Structure 1
Amino acid sequence: MEGLWGYGFLLVTIISCSSLVGVSLMPFMAKDFYKHLLTVMIGLAVGSLTGSAVFHLLPQALRLAEHDPDHEYLNISLYIVGGIWLFFMVERILKFIMDYKERKGKSWKREKMSSVLSSTPETSTIAVMTENGNLMKGPLVEANGGGGEQRNSLIFPSTPRDTGVIYECQEQAIKASFGHQEKPRLSSCHDHPVTFEQGKDSVIATVAWMIIFGDGLHNFIDGLSIGAAFNESIWTGVSISLAVLCEELPHELGDFAVLLNAGMSMRQAVTYNFLSACTCYIGMAVGILLGEIEASIYIFALAGGMFLYISLVDMVPEMNEIAQETSKVSVRKGIITLFLQNMGLFAGITALYLLAKYQDRFQF
């Protein structure tokens, strides 16, 4: 019994500190690398959460292992995950083809317009075809981008108060955490900075309480599932903890970006993130205690449904959106994004499947 509490406490601590590790590494990462890393991490979170639900939590809730000691049911579970991945890929490939045809059509229209383009050394005009077939001529203004490529800067901006770069780089993690809603921004319509006033109502206070209560409840259920899993077996607990860790890292980084963008200092953002993470310890303790009175199956069912919802409703749409945005730019960028997402997906699914398949062969 003491071993369960020790392992549970250790893994919950690792999960709670994961966001701090990510924040500490951010200043040393270039923007493009960090965005690619987040793409892999969100794919990893989707694969881990889905794999944890179909390979561990739902089979445990349905007591399938008691009637199938060889874990043959995992093969059927693998087909379920395969069906999800198959339709994800079909949708992405069809969108790639549509975006490619759209770019080709726009290129053809530009070539047609360039044929009626007339210019002189002093001025340039461009003829634009309207919807009713008429031609309109007007001045052509060329944008000068400065004559050079934009330097791939680091994640952290030069000034501590400029948090727009952090918010922009972590937009996919924020949307994956909050479900495609616009988040509070630093500036208002009058462009006044938001300040933190102790004891007074402010945008920061509202965002902070949203993070504490929303993430606190989320982390409590995560801890509940971890505690119940450790009460079942050590390897089941490790498997669920791995899935939670893969999901929590981009999730907490998204929370961190929201708090910074609302006007908090680095210290305040870390403090609020830590307060919301503390509920995971409470959930773990409750989960272990409830496991003693044979309530684990209900916890597994609840956590399995939550994991599937987070992965398929919150995170997969964000994966689709990021892949579609890059495919509109070029086929190459779209394929790179899809490849990175699949790297994370397969890594998470494979890890959780192997832990479920061979957990009986490992002894502590």
Structure 2
Amino acid sequence: MCFTAHELLTIYELNSSGLIRDQFTQLSPALIQQLLSKACTETTPTTDPSEDTLSTTERYVYATLANTVICLAAMFGIVMLLCTSCSSVFQLCVQFCISLAVGSLTGDALLHLLPTFLGLHVHEEGHNDGHSGENRTYTFKLLVVLGGIYYFYLMETIFSIITRKNSDPHHHGEEGDPHHCDHGKVLEMYQREKQNKLSTSQADLVDGENNVKSFPEPAPRTREQKLLPYMITISDGIHNFADGLAMGAAFSVSWRSGLATSLAVLCHELPHELGDFAVLLHCGVSVKKALLLNVGSAMTSFIGLYIALSIATDTVAKEWIAAVTTGLFLYVGLADMLPTMIHVDSKRPWLMFVLQNLGLLTGWGILLLLSFFEDKIGV
């Protein structure tokens, strides 16, 4: 039987604050017995490999399946964008996806990846009882960090809604072309252009006359406008490559880590791909070419995935990739997507506010449950 240090001190009725030489002499036969019997060294390794660690084949299969599902979900969202006609409902759904992405990205970065590469959480089922109190302590401290982010999000969003009501409503949304990272405004712009083209075509059918000369010819595209689709595709490819690295490193640790990271990647890829696709169409790229560019950039995630699965064989490589992934997720969640939530223009701002809070709390709640119970989940 393996005794802990506290149990040995209790058995010998010794004080845990310090030991004098005679007390250590009294305790040393028990320590020698524990070493010779190997009672403490044979209990922990037997449960870890079969329960938590994946084989090489399972890593590649599970990671490839998860990445394929993410790519298909993004493509399905693009098809829905092309087919939908109810722009207000679609905008609400996109904002919910963006808020869910912020919650899952920051939750995975702070509650899962950060403790992993700092050595605060180790996937060892044999030590659950001895470290449960310590694990809960650092988790609660990281929850305070998320609470700070949530508090300032609430303050800025509420102030933004109140001040927007008192200002001119027509002043917003007319500042020119939005940046391609501003997913909400990009999709709103795409829906507005789609409605304008539909109304123009209907007017042409009613008139029945050749009004080609009444429309001004489109201005020639600048060099920046011609290069923008390729710049967006390259940046999207680099982003997807980093997502693949993150997923590969996560599945190298355990299937539970892969599940948490895949969830975070899935939640933020859908609005990200929709925004990039809308910008490509706005730049004058055809639907077919925009789909091909999106698919090409999505394929780079498989390159990063297989590179990470091949090099993340030791603990040091996994920790460094997890550290890079933490920075990526925090940047995308807080610098890329959170501002689009705060400054979104909507005719029903309080409904949008409720949906955003629901998405944030859902993302954080899922990752919190995974952080507490991932070692108790069986395949």
The TM-score, its normalising length taken from structure 1, stands at 0.70
In the alignment, which residue of structure 2 is the partner of 1:306? 328
Shift of 1:19: 1.9
- In structure 1, give the amino acid aligned to 2:283: A
Shift of 1:213: 1.6
In the alignment, which residue of structure 1 is the partner of 2:286? 265
Match of 1:57 among 96, 110, 113: 113
User: Within 1, Cα distance between the matches of 2:352 and 2:179?
Assistant: 12
Is the Cα contact below 8 Å between 1:239 and 1:355 reproduced in 2? Answer: yes
Give SS of 2:234's match: helix
In the alignment, which residue of structure 2 is the partner of 1:357? 372
Match of 2:146 among 73, 81, 85: 81
Larger Rg: 2
RMSD: 3.0
Q: Does 1:246 align with 2:267?
A: yes
In the alignment, which residue of structure 2 is the partner of 1:91? 156
Shift of 1:92: 2.2
In the alignment, which residue of structure 2 is the partner of 1:34? 90
- Paired positions, count: 280
In the alignment, which residue of structure 1 is the partner of 2:360? 345
Shift of 1:300: 0.6
For structure 1, the residue ranges without an aligned partner over 5 or more in a row are 107-169, 195-200
Is the Cα contact below 8 Å between 2:248 and 2:309 reproduced in 1? Answer: yes
In the alignment, which residue of structure 2 is the partner of 1:14? 69
Shift of 1:90: 1.7
Is the Cα contact below 8 Å between 1:50 and 1:308 reproduced in 2? Answer: yes
User: Within 2, Cα distance between the matches of 1:92 and 1:202?
Assistant: 37
Q: Does 1:23 align with 2:78?
A: yes
Deviations 1:70-114 (A, max 9, x none): 2312222211111100111122233344445x36xx9xxxxxxxx
User: Within 2, Cα distance between the matches of 1:15 and 1:208?
Assistant: 22
Shift of 1:24: 2.1
Shift of 1:203: 6.2
In the alignment, which residue of structure 1 is the partner of 2:230? 209
Q: Which moved more, 1:44-53 or 1:73-82?
A: 73-82
Shift of 1:235: 0.8
Matches within 5 A, 1:51-200: 51-66=107-122, 69-70=131-132, 71-72=135-136, 73-100=138-165, 102=166, 174-176=181-183, 191-192=218-219
Give SS of 2:182's match: helix
Following superposition, which runs of at least 4 residues in structure 1 exceed 6 angstroms of deviation? 170-173, 201-204
Deviations 1:250-308 (A, max 9, x none): 00001111111112222111110011011111111111122103301111111101111
Shift of 1:193: 7.0
Shift of 1:41: 0.9
Is the Cα contact below 8 Å between 1:46 and 1:311 reproduced in 2? Answer: yes
User: Within 1, Cα distance between the matches of 2:326 and 2:114?
Assistant: 6
In the alignment, which residue of structure 2 is the partner of 1:48? 104
For structure 2, the residue ranges without an aligned partner over 5 or more in a row are 1-55, 169-176, 195-215
Q: Does 1:290 align with 2:317?
A: no
User: Within 2, Cα distance between the matches of 1:236 and 1:242?
Assistant: 10
Q: 1:92/1:284 Cα in 2 relative to 1: closer, same or farther (>3 Å)? A: same
The TM-score, its normalising length taken from structure 2, stands at 0.67
Identity of aligned residues (%): 35
Greater percentage in helix: 2
Is the Cα contact below 8 Å between 1:177 and 1:314 reproduced in 2? Answer: no
User: Within 2, Cα distance between the matches of 1:29 and 1:6?
Assistant: 38
In the alignment, which residue of structure 1 is the partner of 2:277? 256
Give SS of 1:278's match: helix
- In structure 1, give the amino acid aligned to 2:145: I
Q: Does 1:334 align with 2:349?
A: yes
